[in-house]
Amino acid sequence: MRKGGTMAIGRQQLAFIKELYGTRLRISYHAYVRREPAALLHLEPGRQDPYPIYRRIRERGVLAPTPLGNYVTASHAACDEVLRSRSFGVGQDGRDAQLSLLDLDPPDHTRLRRLVAPDFTSRKIPAFGPRVQAVVDDLIRTVPRDQPFDLVSSLAAPLPIAVITDLLGIPDANAEEFAMHGTRFGSALGGIQSIAHARELAATRARLAEIFTEIFELRRQHPQDDLIGRIVAANENSPEAVRPEEMVPLCTLLLIAGFETTVNLIGNTVLALLSHPDQWRLFTEQPELAEQVVEEGLRYDPPVQRTGRVAMSDTEVLGRPVAKGQFVMTALGGANRDPAAFDDPDRFDINRSNANEHLSFSGGIHYCVGAPLARLEAAIALRAIATEFPDLREAGKRVRRPGSLIRGIQEFPVLVPAARRTTIV
């Protein structure tokens, strides 16, 4: 390649390529040669069905060592302790907090979380019920009848996009464009897969920054009482409340977290229901069980499968030593199937009495800000699906989304047979 020419690869890019493919090679070696369960989680077996892998991790102990000197745990008690412990943190350099709150430790985390949390409390969120119901009714009304349709692009994806863009105050949101940015962002959380993937992600970041910067300017000129309006006002009143460079990552996180996960909660739960006809029948007969269905859906097949923390000092987890700097991967999806926490954990049971003890929204200071909103949206959507489409069935090959960290279905062909169809008027 010619040095300095258009074909030249810069040093930085070369280092990135080496790091990217070196990491992938290392993971593949540990997964397929050494059969290390922690490595398998990152690859195709983890994407298709991580639950048997979690079982193997648990068999290796409460804290299973990983090949790189860290730990992975699929124990409910251990995940819970790590996530709540003050001795653990995200341990990243706060100056490059691309994922805002998720990349921050106190005191920056506390400062920014205080700014947005009041908008998402379980006292405030129910007021969104009528808006959510109206969006769901509209979507249900417009899905094609008597022919297969994609549950994800017709129902599960547009709902959370409409709700979070509304809540943030993004005018004329282009649902399709946001869905694309969300998928790119979400798949990157599990690691960059290729140079093309890295380029796409950079383009997505730039586009979202452009959208938010425009809205910030709009709110400066015409203050408005929505979440973005309040973030802009907080910055204007005191740049220390939220620094200018923190505003785009914060809004990006709220936007992406607001729909990238909820879409998969709806998809995964419908799949669990259709795969367990007795549970589906029970739900169609008693749609008032929707909140319980959501909790068991969250437990059984959660959209966020894992997170992790770094020990900020020498510490212990359930009495086992963890040295400062060691990383513990908390397998949330594994914790939810821990027999020490849930009876017969692989059974999907919408009447399970302690389903809500799942760790699908994480725990401790990073516990999901949007949990009440996600629960509300999913309950309204699932109740409507069970009521309006009691004969819903699968109608083609499902496509899983890429990556194994965010778990969900990307294309979910279903059909509402004509005979027993009911209609909203």
Q: Does 258 bind ligand HEM (CB under 6 A)?
A: yes
Where are any strands of DSSP class E within 56-166?
A: 64-65, 71-73, 88-89, 149-150
- How many CB atoms neighbour CB 285 within 10 A? 10
Q: Does 101 bind ligand HEM (CB under 6 A)?
A: yes
Give the x-and-dash track for 30-69 against ligand HEM (CB under 6 A): ----------------------------------------
* Residue number of the CB atom closest to ligand HEM: 370
Tell which residue, 63, 67, 104, 58, has the closest CA to residue 81.
63
Least distance to ligand HEM, CB of residue 104, Å = 7
Question: Which of residues 37 and 258 has its CB atom nearest to ligand HEM in the complex?
Answer: 258
Q: Does 125 bind ligand HEM (CB under 6 A)?
A: no
**Cα separation of 337 and 334, whole Å?**
5
Binding to ligand HEM, residues 332-361 (CB under 6 A): 360-361
Question: Which of residues 204 and 415 has its CB atom nearest to ligand HEM in the complex?
Answer: 204
CA angle 70, 71, 74 (to 5 degrees): 160
- Segment contacting ligand HEM by CB under 6 A, of 62-70, 204-212, 237-245, 255-263: 255-263
Least distance to ligand HEM, CB of residue 359, Å = 8
Q: Does 265 bind ligand HEM (CB under 6 A)?
A: yes
Quote the tokens at residue 400. 């899983």
Quote the tokens at residue 339. 């027999």
Q: Is 408:56 a contact under the CB 8 Å cutoff?
A: no
Q: Is 63:328 a contact under the CB 8 Å cutoff?
A: yes
Q: Does 408 bind ligand HEM (CB under 6 A)?
A: no
Q: Which amino acid is at 151?
A: L
Terminal Cα distance for the chain, rounded: 65
Determine which residue in the list 40, 157, 248, 369 makes contact with ligand HEM, applying CB under 6 A: 369
- Segment contacting ligand HEM by CB under 6 A, of 22-30, 39-47, 138-146, 258-266: 258-266
**Cα separation of 422 and 416, whole Å?**
10
* 354 three-class SS: coil
DSSP 8-state assignment for residue 226: S
Determine which residue in the list 198, 274, 368, 395 makes contact with ligand HEM, applying CB under 6 A: 368
Binding to ligand HEM, residues 271-310 (CB under 6 A): 302-304, 307
Give the position of tokens 């996530």: 83
Using CB under 6 A as the criterion, which residues of the chain lie in contact with ligand HEM when the complex forms?
101-102, 113, 164, 253-254, 257-258, 261-262, 265, 302-304, 307, 360-362, 366, 368-370, 373-374
